[in-house]
Amino acid sequence: EIVMTQSPATLSVSPGERATLSCRASQSIDSNLAWYQQKPGQAPRLLIYGASTRATGIPARFSGSGSGTEFTLTISSLQSEDFAVYYCQHYNNWPVTFGGGTKVEIK
């Protein structure tokens, strides 16, 4: 099973600033990575797949990069609605697994 490790666990950012979230896979997953956003009491929402392709309706301030074992989600200018928990997920093989999440909180 591939282990996904996200860092940091918590990221404190001021509105308007850039946020950079990291996700590392325990072995190469090519570009088979997705990112999700989850707000309290809500279901997750797909943001990015293929490591860098934005899902339908996702604002351009969200961008993903990386391949192999190292990946990054960047939020270029944090809006109030972006404070949430973010999860990465690989789909390179079975079972698909998620990272432990990064909570982006208001600084």
Partner 1 sequence: EVQLVESGGGLVQPGGSLRLSCAASGFTFSNYWMHWVRQAPGKGLVWVSRINIAGSDTGYADSVKGRFTISRDNAKNTVYLQMNSLRPEDTAVYFCVRDGIVGLTVFDYWGQGTLVTVSS
Which residues contribute to the site for partner 1 (CB under 8 A)? 32, 34, 36, 42-46, 49-50, 55-56, 87, 89, 91, 94-101
Smaller CB separation from partner 1, 77 or 102? 102
Alpha-carbon distance of 42 to 49, in angstroms, equals 20
CA torsion 50→12→45→48, rounded to 10°? -10
Question: Taking the complex as a whole, how short is the minimal distance between the CB of residue 100 and partner 1, in angstroms?
Answer: 5
Alpha-carbon dihedral sign for residues 80, 83, 88, 89 = negative
Question: Taking the complex as a whole, how short is the minimal distance between the CB of residue 2 and partner 1, in angstroms?
Answer: 12
Smaller CB separation from partner 1, 81 or 94? 94
